[in-house]
Amino acid sequence: MKLQIEKYLAEVQSFTTTSLEELEQFRIKYSGKKGILNDLFALFKTVAPEERRDTGRLLNELKEAIQLKHDSLKAGLGDNDNKPEKLFDLTLPVTDDQSGSRHPLAIIRKRIIDIFGRIGYTVAEGPEIEDDWHNFSALNFAPEHPARDMQDTFFIGSNPEVLLRTHTSSVQVRVMEHTQPPIRMTFPGRVYRNEAISARAHCFFHQVEGLYIDKNVSFADLRQTMMYFAKEMFSPDTKIRLRPSYFPFTEPSAEMDISCNLCGGEGCGFCKYTGWVEILGCGMVNPAVLTNCGIDPKIYSGFAFGIGVERITNLVFNVKDLRIFSENDVRFLRQFGSAI
């Protein structure tokens, strides 16, 4: 009998598994009611008295080895009190939908980029901390030009050379400095202005800038592209209106309105009862800007535009106060889960 026990002992000690099911079979085989241990203990009763001490000791050794092997394998398989089933009551009803969603501004930024992507515009980004050259000078803001006063700028420390960009037009410069036309790109990003915070203005907001430079690009191309954008973004019956404006980096310049989609052009509080809402600035890139960036204005021309992401988001989701975009109120944010 001793030999038999020793055989089982070796078998138990070399046993291993990664399956809980196999481990359970192991337990049944050795410690189950009709298992090997019980058989051996029954047999033990027939052992001759002089053999009893040694055989008994061996039998106990086997019993302990079985228990030890079982417990250590079970712990290794994670079948202990940390099992999820023991930490949570999986039969309780689900309490909340915890899946995240895109921020409404991110949803609209993506839609804008995609609309232009469909007509060949690729995407680039520039830094939020800019220098005077890229934010102002290269864009034809003369040192003493009153246009600089149009923007209340956050300077970094007292250095007038370093600032938080006031518009994404700075990325136009960065791209043109390194790329020869044709250029067809959008530049999304956050911009900063020192403005009193209200329902319509904030000290930071978002723009998607666009730039198209090639041979023979005309104002008609600009108008057609803007109309395509407005119809894709809102609806096919959206109307556009270009009003003459001034930007130092475009000539001629325009501000673009769309028919107010909150009231269908009838007039409401949002459009100040005019039926029109301004959504972007645009124009033909000033030849001086092309020259500043190393592009020959005798060969190339182009247009640029800057779209206010908050304004579009207000219109698409009927949100009237832009402060709510940065308040991180999940009751507001989680409403956009399905609007990818």
Which residues contact ligand DAH by CB under 6 A? Answer: 167, 169, 209, 247, 250, 253, 281-283, 304-306
Minimum distance between the CB of residue 78 and ligand DAH, rounded to whole angstroms?
Answer: 57
**CB nearer to ligand DAH: pick between 188 and 281:** 281
For ligand DAH, the closer CB: 222 or 271: 222
**Which H or E run includes 215?**
none
The position carrying tokens 């020793």 is: 6
Q: Which is nearer to ligand DAH, 8 or 303 (CB)?
A: 303
Residue with smaller CB distance to ligand DAH, 189 or 283? 283
Closer residue to ligand DAH, CB minimum distance, 15 or 219: 219
User: Please, what is the minimum distance in Å from the beta carbon of residue 274 to ligand DAH?
Assistant: 20
- Report the residue number, 23 or 132, with the smaller CB distance to ligand DAH: 132
Minimum CB separation of residue 317 from ligand DAH in Å reads 22
Task: Please report how close the Cβ of residue 282 comes to ligand DAH at its closest, in angstroms.
Answer: 5
| CA-angle at 202, arms to 200 and 204, nearest 5° | 135
Question: What is the smallest separation between the CB atom of 250 and ligand DAH, expressed in angstroms?
Answer: 4
Query: How far is it, in rounded angstroms, from Cα 70 to Cα 149?
Result: 79
Q: How far is the CB of 209 from ligand DAH (least distance, A)?
A: 5
**How many helices (H) and strands (E) would you count in the chain?**
12, 9
